[in-house]
Amino acid sequence: MAIITLTTDLGSKDFYQAALKGSILSILPTANIVDVTHEVPSFNISYAAFVLKNVYPYFPKGTVHLIGIDSVFSENTRYIALKYRDHYFVGADNGIFSLLFEETPEEIVELNIMQDLKYLHFPLVDIFVKAAIHLAKGGRLRDIGMPTDNVEERMLLNPVIERDIIRGSVIYIDTFSNVITNITKELFTKIQRNRDFTLYFRKSETITQLSWHYNEVPEGEKLCLFGISNHLEIAINKGKASGLLGLHLSDIVRVEFHP
């Protein structure tokens, strides 16, 4: 069965999400549509890239991932489809793919599917859906676009390293209000070198120990750990860390390692 995942900033209040799914099912009734999320903050491609990067490896090879972030028609934006690690991705070439992949995709095409004028302001249900269904049915990339060898580059805000200090920032807040930073486990371990540390945030808040799981501290206590994303995460056991600790997207966190 063809699998098509959806990652968009359409939300759940309006009819746009349903129209997108209906346009897929009207052409391919047997499609298995999986919602990754429709709650990406509007036009926030770095947020979407973080979500999808942590999701797509769990899907079977051959899955098609449709990305609807900042995809409204523009004379300066290309629509592309590509193959990466035996998965297919369809979206606007607005920089998201440079944030999503660690290596160059195996194949990239600039879509040449003709735009139906009645869908001019909603290419998701026209160009993207046609491309996704073509690929989900086993079609070739070269049949829906012209080969290209590059994607738009976009740089992430990376942690700053100052000798024994890592300065990072909040990049994601999940449904449980756990706060995820851009400090990876690999970077943390490299700078730590088995030393003690203090994690500082919101001026006076600190954490001095890594936990293995959320229940390692009493209910209501704060903790930090490396979760499923392998990024440093600030949480409260059975509590809402973002609200209770006053942490928001782009807020700064600091890790200091002690001699």
86: domain CATH number is 3.40.50.10790
In a domain, 66, yes or no: yes
Q: Are 180 and 231 in contact (CB under 8 A)?
A: yes
Rg, the chain, Cα only = 20
Domain that holds residue 230: 160-257
Q: Are 64 and 88 in contact (CB under 8 A)?
A: yes
In a domain, 239, yes or no: yes
Angle of helix 127-136 versus helix 16-27 axis, rounded to 10: 40
User: End of a domain among 123, 147, 171?
Assistant: 147
Q: Are 182 and 168 in contact (CB under 8 A)?
A: yes
User: End of a domain among 96, 121, 147?
Assistant: 147
Backbone dihedral region for residue 64 (phi beyond 0: left; psi -120 to 50: alpha; all else: beta): beta
Do 105 and 178 fall into the same domain?
no
User: How many whole angstroms separate alpha carbon 190 and alpha carbon 18?
Assistant: 46
User: How many whole angstroms separate alpha carbon 182 and alpha carbon 169?
Assistant: 6
User: End of a domain among 147, 176, 211?
Assistant: 147
Walk along the chain (259 residues) and give the pLDDT tens digit of each residue: 799 999 999 999 999 999 999 999 999 999 999 999 999 999 999 999 999 999 999 999 999 999 999 887 667 789 999 999 999 999 999 999 999 998 999 999 999 988 776 666 678 888 999 999 999 999 999 999 999 998 998 887 889 999 899 999 999 999 999 999 999 999 999 999 999 999 999 877 899 999 999 999 999 999 999 999 999 999 999 999 999 999 999 999 999 999 8
Domain count of the fold of the chain: 2
Number of other residues whose CB lies within 10 A of the CB of residue 147 = 10
In a domain, 128, yes or no: yes
Do 124 and 242 fall into the same domain?
no
